[in-house]
Amino acid sequence: MLIDTYGRVATDLRVSLTDRCNLRCTYCMPEEGLQWLAKPDLLTDDEIVRLIGIAVRDLGIEEVRFTGGEPLLRPGLPGIIERVAGLTPRPRMSLTTNGIGLQRTAAALRDAGLDRVNVSLDTLRPEVFQALTRRKRHDDVLHGLEAARAAGLTPVKVNTVLMPGLNDDEAPDLLAWAIAHDYELRFIEQMPLDAQHGWKRDGMITAGDILTSLRTRFTLTPESEDARGSAPAERWIVDGGPHRVGVIASVTRPFCRACDRTRLTADGQVRTCLFATEETDLRTALRSEAPDEEIARLWKVAMWGKKAGSGLDDPSFLQPERPMSAIGG
C-alpha cells in the first residue's frame, strides 16, 4: 500500500494524460498558453496503463481519475480506459474535463468503461465564460454536460470557481440550474494554479462567502462527517434534499489530514500533492526496463515522504514553478 509517515493511505490516483488544453482560463494559464511538453517526454498509452496496473494490483489504488490539461485531447483515451477497466481488481474510473469534447465522446467513454465525469463550468453567462476562458465555447460545454448525463456518466459533477468581479454573484443561480438539470454542483476556492502567479489570497472568494450567498435563496443542512469520509468537498443538503451542494475549501479549510491521493504527471513523475515541489521519476525506471517491483518500491518511497499539508493555509505560501497543466487537478 501507499502509506505516509502520518498514517494516511493513498487509494485515489490522479493521472494527468496531457498538459495541453483548448481553453485559456485566467486562473490557470496565460492567454498565449504555455510551453507544452515535448511528445517524447509524455508517457505512452502502454506506459500509462502499466503504471496504473502497478498502482491497482500492487499498491492498493481503488479509484483512478483521468485529468489534464484537458484529457479529452488525448487521442488514445478510450483505449486507455478500456484497458484499465480490464484490470483485476477493476478500479472505479472518472474523468475531469472542461466538457468541450464530451458531446462527441461521452457514449464512447461510457462504452470503454468510464464510470462518471466532473465538468468544469464557472458561469451560466456566455459573455462571462468568454472573459474567463478567452474562448467562445459556452454552448459546447452545456451540450457536453447533457451528453454525459444521457450516457449515464453519473453523478455528473460540475466544478465551479468564483472570481471577484466576474461571476461572484452567480452562486445561487448556478445551484438552481444544477438542481434543475440533476447535476451535483461543487464550488472550489480559487487556488494558486496560474503560471503567471496572479493569485491573491486577499481577493479570493472564500467558502464562507459562497455559503452566505447560497443561503440567500436556499436552506443548507450540513452533511455528516461520516458521509464525507476522505472526500475533499464538504457537502450540504439543499432544502431538505435530495439534492446536495459541495464546497472544496482548499485554502481556508484544507482537508490534508484526510488526503488519500497520489498523482502521476503527464511525463511520468509521482507527486504526493498538487502543490508539492518534489517529484519522483517513474518514467526513467519504465524506460530502463525496471521490473514492476522496483517501480512499486519507488512509488512507495515517494509517498512515505509526503508532507503533512499543502501549505495553502500558510500566508507565506509560494506557488510552485512547474505548470499545473501537466500535474492535473
Tens digit of pLDDT per residue, the chain (329 long)? 999 999 999 999 999 999 999 888 777 776 666 778 899 999 999 999 999 999 999 999 999 999 999 999 999 999 999 999 999 999 999 999 999 999 999 999 999 999 999 999 999 999 999 999 999 999 999 999 999 999 999 999 999 999 999 999 999 999 999 999 999 999 998 866 544 445 455 568 999 999 999 999 999 999 987 666 667 889 999 999 999 999 998 888 877 888 999 999 999 999 998 878 889 999 999 999 999 999 999 999 999 999 987 655 555 444 455 444 455 55
Degrees to nearest 5, angle at CA 203 with 253 and 170: 85
Instruction: Tell me whether residue 20 is annotated as binding.
Output: no
Instruction: Please report the pLDDT score of residue 47 as a whole number.
Output: 98
256 annotated to bind ligand: yes
25 labeled part of a ligand binding site? yes
Strand ranges (E), the chain: 2-3, 9-10, 12-16, 63-67, 92-97, 116-120, 157-160, 184-188, 220-222, 234-238, 244-248, 261-264, 269-271, 280-281
| Cα gap 87→62, rounded to integer Å | 11
Asked if residue 136 belongs to a known ligand binding site, the reply is no
183 is in an annotated binding site: no
* Three-point CA angle 24, 283, 271, nearest 5°: 60
Is 325 within any annotated ligand binding site? Answer: no
* Strand 9-10 with 2-3, pairing: antiparallel
Q: Which three cell numbers stand for residue 229?
A: 469520509
Q: Are 327 and 263 in contact (CB under 8 A)?
A: yes
Could you report how far apart the first and last alpha carbons of the chain are, in Å? Answer: 22
Looking at residue 190, its pLDDT comes to 83
28 marked as binding residue: yes
The CA distance from 313 to 318, in Å, is 11
CB contact burial 171-203 (16+ within 10 A = b; e otherwise): beebbebbbeeebbbbbbbbbbbbbeeebeeee
Is 259 annotated to bind ligand? Answer: yes
- Domain 2-326: give its CATH superfamily: Aldolase class I (3.20.20.70)
**SS3 state of residue 84:** helix
How much is the pTM?
0.90
